C-alpha cells in the first residue's frame, strides 16, 4: 500500500478553504513520497462543519478539536484558527506526537510564540511549519535563489510594503480588529508576510527597529447583530451597535539589518486602490530585484554587472519548468500562469516532502523561524509605544 500522511485541520472559513484545496491538490500535481489524506476537520459550528467537510473532501468532522489532535491515526495537525488559540492547539498537538503546520503569525503575542517555539524544541521527533505562503510563490523563491548565488552582492536597502483596502468604515468588527485575539492589525496580518519574505530572500536578520508608528484610523466599527444576523450599519434593519477596534490599521517602521542594510516596511488595510499588493524591493551592489504580488508570476531583475549601455530592468516570467523556475515543472506550460491558491499547494507539497525526510524546493519556516518574525513584530510595537529605537537583543 502507498504511504499516506493523515492530516487533521482545526478551523475552516477563509484559510480553511485555502488549506483544504492545497491538501486536496498537492498529491495530484506533485510526485510525493506520501499521499496527503484529508482525515479530519475540526471547527466549532457543527452544522456548518458538516457542509464544509463534504464540500472540501474531509473524511471526518468533529466540533472537538482535542479529539482530532489526540487521534493516534493523525500524522500532522494543520492550524487555521484565530491567532490567540494557536499556542494551545499547537502545544497539545506536539505533546501528542504530531507534526504541526500553523497559520501566521505564529501567535497573538511574543509570550505565546515563545511557548510554541519551546514546545517544538522539546518535541524533537515532530516537525513544525508556518504558512508564510508567499515564500512558495515562484518569483519570491527565485529571488531567494539569486541572492544565495551572490547575484545581488552586498545588499544596501530593503523596501517592503503590503497594501490592501478592504477594511474601510463599513467593515464590521471581527476578530482581526480585536487586539486580545489578533495581537495586532495590519502589522501581524500583513506586514509579518513582508518581514518574513525579506528575511527569507536576503538571509539577513533585523538588528534594530529604529522607529515605528502604529495608527488606529477607524476606532469604532459596526458590530454583528446577533438577534437578526445582519451587520448593523449600512443596509441594516436594526439599530447600529458600535464596538471598539483595538489594533492598528496602518504601520510604518524603519529597521537596521545585521548586514548593515537599511530597511523600511509599511502595511495597511486602508490603502484605497490596492487589493493585495505585497511589494518588496531589494537593492544591492551587483543588482536588484522587485516583486509585487498583484503580478505574482513576474520578478523584476536589474543586473548592474552588465555594460552600462545595456543596463535596465527586465521582467522574468517565472513559470518556466525547463528553466528550473521553482515548482513550475509541476504545473502548466510556460506563461500559463499560477494564482494565489498555488502558493498553498506548493507549500503542502513541500511540507509532505519535509515530513518524509526529503528536501523541499526552498527552506520552509518552522516555529523557531517564525518566532524570529514575531520578535520583530514585538519590537515594532515597543518602538511605536515608547517612541524610540528597540534593539532585537532586548526582545526575547
Q: Tens digit of pLDDT per residue, the chain (396 long)?
A: 469 999 999 999 999 999 999 999 999 999 999 999 999 999 998 889 999 999 999 999 999 999 999 999 999 999 999 999 999 999 999 999 999 999 999 999 999 999 999 999 999 999 999 999 999 999 999 999 999 999 999 999 999 999 999 999 999 999 999 999 999 999 999 999 999 999 999 999 999 999 999 999 999 999 976 443 333 333 334 456 899 999 999 999 999 999 999 999 999 999 999 999 999 999 999 999 999 999 999 999 999 999 999 999 999 999 999 999 999 999 999 999 999 999 999 999 999 999 999 999 999 999 999 999 999 999 999 999 999 999 999 998
Q: How far apart are the first and last CA of the chain?
A: 47
Exposed e or buried b for every residue in 37-65, given b needs 16+ CB within 10 A?
A: bbbbbbbeeeeebeebbeebebeebbeeb
Detail the DSSP E strand segments found in the chain. Answer: 4-10, 35-42, 60-62, 76-79, 99-102, 128-130, 155-163, 206-215, 220-222, 242-244, 250-257, 262-268, 277-284, 287-292, 298-303, 313-317, 390-391
> Which grid cell is 396?
526575547
Contacts of residue 104, defined as CB under 8 A and 6 or more positions apart, other chains included, come to 130, 131, 132, 192, 193, 196, 370, 373
Assign 303 to helix, strand or coil: strand
pLDDT given for residue 234 in this prediction: 35
**Alpha carbons 203 and 288: distance in angstroms, whole number:** 15
| Residue among 103, 26, 100, 81 at smallest CA distance from 57 | 26
| Verdict on whether the full-model pTM lies above 0.85 | yes
Closest to 58 measured CA to CA, from 44, 68, 70, 45: 68
pLDDT computed for residue 375 by the predictor:
98
- pLDDT for 149-167, tens place per residue? 999 999 999 999 999 999 9
- 155, 283 Cβ separation under 8 angstroms: yes
Return the pLDDT at 225. 63
CATH 3.30.360.10 range(s) for the chain read 148-333+370-386
Q: What is the pLDDT of residue 98?
A: 98
Cα gap 205→372, rounded to integer Å = 8
In the chain, CATH 3.40.50.720 sits at: 4-133
User: Which CATH class, in words, describes the domain spanning 148-333+370-386?
Assistant: alpha beta
Q: What is the pLDDT of residue 2?
A: 63
pLDDT digits (tens, 9 = 90+) for 71-86: 999 999 999 999 999 9
Torsion sign, CA atoms 364, 134, 137, 255 = negative
| Parallel, antiparallel or unpaired: strands 128-130 and 99-102 | parallel
Strand arrangement of the beta sheet that strand 298-303 belongs to: 313-317, 298-303, 287-292, 277-284, 155-163, 262-268, 250-257, 206-215, 390-391
Residue with the three cell numbers 445582519:
230
If DSSP codes are grouped into helix, strand and coil, which group holds residue 219? coil
Reading phi first (left if > 0) and then psi (alpha if -120 to 50, else beta), residue 247 is in beta
User: How is domain 4-133 classified at the CATH fold level?
Assistant: Rossmann fold (3.40.50)
* Sequence-separated (6 or more) residues with CB below 8 Å from residue 36: 4, 5, 7, 23, 26, 27, 348, 352
Map 186-207 to HEC letters.
HHHHHHHHHHHHHHHHHCCCEE
Peptide bond into 105 cis (omega under 30): yes
Amino acid at each position: 500500500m502507498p504511504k499516506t500522511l493523515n492530516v487533521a485541520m482545526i478551523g475552516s472559513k477563509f484559510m480553511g478553504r485555502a488549506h483544504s484545496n492545497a491538501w486536496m491538490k498537492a498529491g495530484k500535481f506533485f510526485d510525493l513520497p506520501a499521499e496527503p489524506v484529508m482525515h479530519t476537520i475540526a471547527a466549532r459550528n457543527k452544522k456548518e462543519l458538516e457542509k464544509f467537510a463534504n464540500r472540501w473532501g474531509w473524511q471526518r468532522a468533529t466540533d472537538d478539536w482535542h479529539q482530532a489532535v489526540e487521534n493516534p491515526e493523525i500524522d500532522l495537525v494543520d492550524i487555521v484558527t484565530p491567532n490567540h488559540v494557536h499556542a494551545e492547539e499547537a502545544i497539545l498537538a506536539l505533546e501528542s506526537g504530531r507534526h504541526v503546520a500553523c497559520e501566521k503569525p505564529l501567535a497573538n503575542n511574543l509570550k505565546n510564540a515563545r511557548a510554541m517555539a519551546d514546545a517544538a524544541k522539546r518535541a524533537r521527533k515532530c516537525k513544525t511549519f508556518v504558512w508564510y505562503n508567499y515564500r512558495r510563490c515562484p518569483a519570491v523563491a527565485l529571488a531567494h535563489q539569486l541572492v544565495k548565488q551572490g547575484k545581488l552582492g552586498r545588499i544596501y536597502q530593503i523596501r517592503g510594503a503590503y497594501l490592501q483596502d478592504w477594511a474601510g468604515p463599513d467593515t464590521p468588527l471581527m476578530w482581526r480588529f480585536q487586539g486580545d485575539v489578533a495581537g495586532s492589525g495590519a502589522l501581524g496580518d500583513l506586514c509579518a508576510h513582508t518581514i518574513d519574505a525579506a528575511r527569507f530572500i536576503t538571509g539577513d536578520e533585523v538588528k534594530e527597529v529604529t522607529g515605528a508608528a502604529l495608527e488606529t484610523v477607524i476606532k469604532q466599527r459596526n458590530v454583528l447583530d446577533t438577534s437578526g444576523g445582519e451587520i448593523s450599519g449600512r443596509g441594516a434593519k436594526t439599530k447600529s451597535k458600535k464596538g471598539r477596534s483595538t489594533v492598528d490599521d496602518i504601520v510604518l517602521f524603519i529597521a537596521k539589518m545585521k548586514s548593515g542594510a537599511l530597511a523600511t516596511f509599511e502595511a495597511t488595510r486602508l490603502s484605497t486602490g490596492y487589493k493585495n499588493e505585497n511589494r518588496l524591493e531589494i537593492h544591492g551592489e551587483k543588482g536588484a530585484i522587485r516583486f509585487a504580488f498583484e503580478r505574482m508570476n513576474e520578478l523584476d531583475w536589474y543586473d548592474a554587472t552588465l555594460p552600462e549601455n545595456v543596463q535596465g530592468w527586465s521582467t522574468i516570467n517565472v513559470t518556466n519548468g525547463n528553466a528550473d523556475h521553482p515548482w513550475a515543472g509541476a504545473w502548466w506550460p510556460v506563461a500559463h500562469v499560477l494564482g494565489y491558491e498555488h502558493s498553498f499547494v506548493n507549500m503542502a507539497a513541500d511540507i509532505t516532502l519535509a515530513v518524509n525526510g526529503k528536501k523541499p524546493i526552498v527552506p520552509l519556516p518552522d516555529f523557531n523561524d517564525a518566532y524570529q518574525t514575531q520578535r520583530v513584530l514585538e519590537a515594532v510595537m515597543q518602538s511605536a509605544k515608547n517612541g524610540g529605537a528597540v534593539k532585537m537583543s532586548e526582545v526575547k
